[in-house]
Structure 1
Amino acid sequence: MSLESYDKEIFDLTQNELKRQCDHLEMIASENFTYPEVMEVMGSILTNKYAEGYPGKRYYGGCEFVDEIEQIAIDRCKKLFGCEFANVQPNSGSQANQGVYGALLNPGDKILGMDLSHGGHLTHGAKVSSSGKMYESFFYGVELDGRINYDKVLEIAKVVRPKMIVCGASAYARQIDFAKFRAIADEVGAYLFADVAHIAGLVVAGEHNDPFPHCDVVSSTTHKTLRGPRGGIIMTNNEEFAKKINSSIFPGIQGGPLMHVIAAKAVGFKHNLSDEWRVYAKQVKANAKKLGEVMLSRGYDLVSGGTDNHLILLSLLNKPFSGKDADIALGNSGITVNKNTVPGEIRSPFVTSGVRIGSPALTARGMKEAEFELIANKIADVLDDINNTALQAKVKAELKELASKFIIYNKAMF
């Protein structure tokens, strides 16, 4: 029996979401459109299989085929990142990070991560997350120019003397210098852990600095710029750390791995290893750059003045409206973004003075610089007259027409 026949309520909502994704312009920097074949295997027979443990060492029988699948995912991940070890079982980037901490730290150990309000992630020590509750967390941030000051990071590290330094961000538009972080970590005797969830797709295409060989451990999500299924991974070149990471994930924080998602990760990695992937990643950067150039030309400030990766961070500190206002107005115009804090923030995290805008999802639809120039001007038009609901409706109709020329999915697929 089909979903439509069995549960029309859920079916209709999934179709509504399909229509939203197709008709709106998805510009949240952490979201992307994965491949139909990735979704196909996620909805496959593999969802039925328990496989606690690791390939060749399971606690359940009947794992001969899923063992092969997981090993393929591991091997492809290792090849992709140029590392000696990969754990592909984490269910998310947050769980991957939790697994790294569990492997290398003890409760109460000091960690030094990027401040959430400066572009870091919850799991980098934010007090509201388990990383900030289990460990004694300290923070570095960006200067008012929106860039990391590595000399200042070293100063903080010398005072804090952390056991681990976490580098990586969720709203940082510039390259991360892993070599400089390595030197800082060595200076204070700390582990160096890189969370590349946002930039992984650029890293593996050679479009961003590589965390290896500088970092002791690297984690990532498999969606975002990698365009795979939602999930997490952990990599290292240290054999001792590898054993601890495996134990930290299972049985430490997870039971049976999601074999249908691991298979989907393998399929996603195959895409990431292709020549076409490098073309896509280069276009992601080019589109973000064009987006930033137009917004600057229209009188909008960008944190750090531009971008080296897949996103821009729009600062509205000099505007009479907030990030939340901009988020709502652009949403009404058919453009999905997210409000975000900025350096020098004057509003609460629920309101903010910034907007984070990314290029990966629209690039996946085939859009290039010409489309991003048009879209950036539409964004500026809406924000210039933010209370004009008639204009928002007009822009929404225009962008729906644009979206119809770049089909990502069709109803027949679902």
Structure 2
Amino acid sequence: MPVTHTLEGPPSVDVLGRQDPELAEILLAELTRQTTTLQLIAAENFTSPAVLAALGSPLANKYAEGYPGARHHGGCELVDVAERIAVQRATALFGAEHANVQSHSGSSAVLAAYAALLRPGDTVLAMGLPHGGHLTHGSPANFSGRWFDFVGYGVDPESGLIDHEQVRALARTHRPKAIVCGSISYPRHIDYAAFREVADEVGAYLIADAAHPIGLVAGGAAPSPVPYADVVCATTHKVLRGPRGGMLLCGSGLADRVDRAVFPFTQGGAQMHTVAAKAVAFGEAATPAFTAYAHQVVANARVLAQCLAAEGLAVVTGGTDTHLLTVDPAPLGVDGRTARGRLAAAGMVLDTCALPRPDVRGLRLGTAAVTTQGMGEAEMARVAVLFGTALRDESAGRHVREEVRDLTGRFPPYPG
């Protein structure tokens, strides 16, 4: 049975409508887009009305450079309390000694982790971009690739699983200052203990980029990187279902270095409305309802993977342990980009991603948002059929779009 997360209604746009009808119309149109199409992007979700309320609160007015009790601006007594609550909830939720909740994004959190532990020119071992690494894992278009010497490890081209022997061999050869474990498209649990063992062998820091699985960690549906990594970087949206933002978790011995890397080294004043919204999300994630939700997300993803395979798509690694899966639509006669276009026309929104073969792009999709809407295994089976229909027959897009509209109409994320 699906675990329904009932949301009580969208934020009011009445005031905005009176002041700026042009922007209000865009907000309403976006709400319509989100609620009448299937949101299958693995990095997206629907936040609760409480999170949205914090984001739209007067806390947005407050400048608060620094940390609670040591701000560079006056009038921070109340936002200090809000940030302390966010930190306390984060450390309790993830079993960490220290949490920094000020990072503006997951990329900002990774930048701060590098700033805390590394110096320009240091060698870093991370998953290569063609195998699912993030831009912050060494892309030449990103600060990481310009400031540090990245060496990329990959996955086995047959199994799609991380090649831990390659990780160990590369670490022994290059003696990196840090090893990064984490991916934007790896559907299996990360073996944090194996990475810790290699890091200890070569004297490297271990940085876990847990932007994708951290919400599952909060709900007890994925292993935690906290006992193994020196620093954990994460986002507060995705499965965690909070506001768009980042955070860092670490031991007390690195707390000061991490905090100084966030402020003042890499960013200025905290966005206190977002910090408060993170506190709300951490509180929601500590409930039994969220635990049930996280496990339902995984159950939905596994059923979706099985049913997509039955439709003829090639599922990378043969399935998933998490909220996301990657598939190759080539057996149906289309490439990743063409497939994404057909699916978008049919009302199914998702991403392309690199596959563990040279110059081949597949599809990355996830079940976090549709599970928030209350969909379960039966709906995932139906989504897979619609998926296959749209890819096999381009002319079926309009018919599939009508079925998608009917499905989403039965599971509104913001009823009322």
User: What TM-score results when the alignment is normalised by the length of structure 1?
Assistant: 0.95
- State yes or no: 1:365 paired with 2:373: yes
Matched with 1:191 is 205
Counterpart of 1:230 in 2: which secondary structure?
coil
Q: Which runs of 5+ in 1 are unaligned?
A: none
Out of 350, 373, 379, the position equivalent to 2:387 is 379
Matched with 1:9 is 22
Q: Distance in 2 between matches of 1:368 and 1:340?
A: 25
Query: Superposition pairs for residues 98-247 of structure 1, below 5 Å?
Result: 98-144=111-157, 145-239=159-253, 241-247=254-260
Matched with 2:261 is 248
Task: Quote how far apart the aligned CAs of 1:317 are.
Answer: 4.3
264-273 vs 299-308, which moves further: 299-308
Deviations 1:70-122 (A, max 9, x none): 00000000001101100000000000000010011000001111111111111
User: What TM-score results when the alignment is normalised by the length of structure 2?
Assistant: 0.95
Task: Quote how far apart the aligned CAs of 1:193 are.
Answer: 0.4
Q: Distance in 1 between matches of 2:300 and 2:330?
A: 25
Instruction: Indicate if the aligned counterparts of 1:228 and 1:268 stay in contact, CA closer than 8 A.
Output: yes
Counterpart of 1:139 in 2: which secondary structure?
strand
- State yes or no: 1:41 paired with 2:54: yes
Q: Distance in 2 between matches of 1:265 and 1:238?
A: 21
Q: Distance in 2 between matches of 1:298 and 1:345?
A: 25
Q: Which amino acid aligns with 1:101?
A: Y
Instruction: Indicate if the aligned counterparts of 1:216 and 1:238 stay in contact, CA closer than 8 A.
Output: no
Task: Quote how far apart the aligned CAs of 1:207 are.
Answer: 1.2
- State yes or no: 1:400 paired with 2:405: yes
Q: Which amino acid aligns with 1:221?
A: T
Instruction: Indicate if the aligned counterparts of 1:311 and 1:356 stay in contact, CA closer than 8 A.
Output: yes
Q: Which amino acid aligns with 2:104?
A: N
Q: Which amino acid aligns with 2:226?
A: F
Instruction: Indicate if the aligned counterparts of 2:106 and 2:246 stay in contact, CA closer than 8 A.
Output: yes
Q: Which amino acid aligns with 1:189?
A: G
Instruction: Indicate if the aligned counterparts of 1:340 and 1:355 stay in contact, CA closer than 8 A.
Output: yes
399-408 vs 313-322, which moves further: 313-322
Q: Distance in 1 between matches of 2:294 and 2:313?
A: 26
Out of 313, 332, 339, the position equivalent to 1:326 is 339
Task: Quote how far apart the aligned CAs of 1:346 are.
Answer: 2.9
Q: Distance in 1 between matches of 2:128 and 2:359?
A: 16
Q: Which amino acid aligns with 2:292?
A: V
Task: Quote how far apart the aligned CAs of 1:319 are.
Answer: 4.7
Deviations 1:237-262 (A, max 9, x none): 142x1101111111101111000000
Q: Which runs of 5+ in 2 are unaligned?
A: 1-13
- State yes or no: 1:73 paired with 2:78: no
Instruction: Indicate if the aligned counterparts of 2:103 and 2:246 stay in contact, CA closer than 8 A.
Output: yes
Query: Superposition pairs for residues 18-57 of structure 1, below 5 Å?
Result: 18-57=31-70
Counterpart of 2:410 in 1: which secondary structure?
coil
- C-alpha RMSD of matched pairs (Å): 1.1
- State yes or no: 1:287 paired with 2:300: yes
Q: Distance in 1 between matches of 2:205 and 2:263?
A: 22
Task: Quote how far apart the aligned CAs of 1:142 are.
Answer: 0.6
Deviations 1:175-230 (A, max 9, x none): 10000000010111100000111001111222111112111110100000100000
Q: Which amino acid aligns with 2:197?
A: A
Task: Quote how far apart the aligned CAs of 1:320 are.
Answer: 3.0
Instruction: Indicate if the aligned counterparts of 1:90 and 1:232 stay in contact, CA closer than 8 A.
Output: yes
278-287 vs 375-384, which moves further: 375-384
Q: Which amino acid aligns with 1:395?
A: V
Q: Distance in 2 between matches of 1:304 and 1:345?
A: 17
325-334 vs 337-346, which moves further: 337-346
Q: Distance in 1 between matches of 2:312 and 2:54?
A: 46
Q: Distance in 2 between matches of 1:242 and 1:123?
A: 22
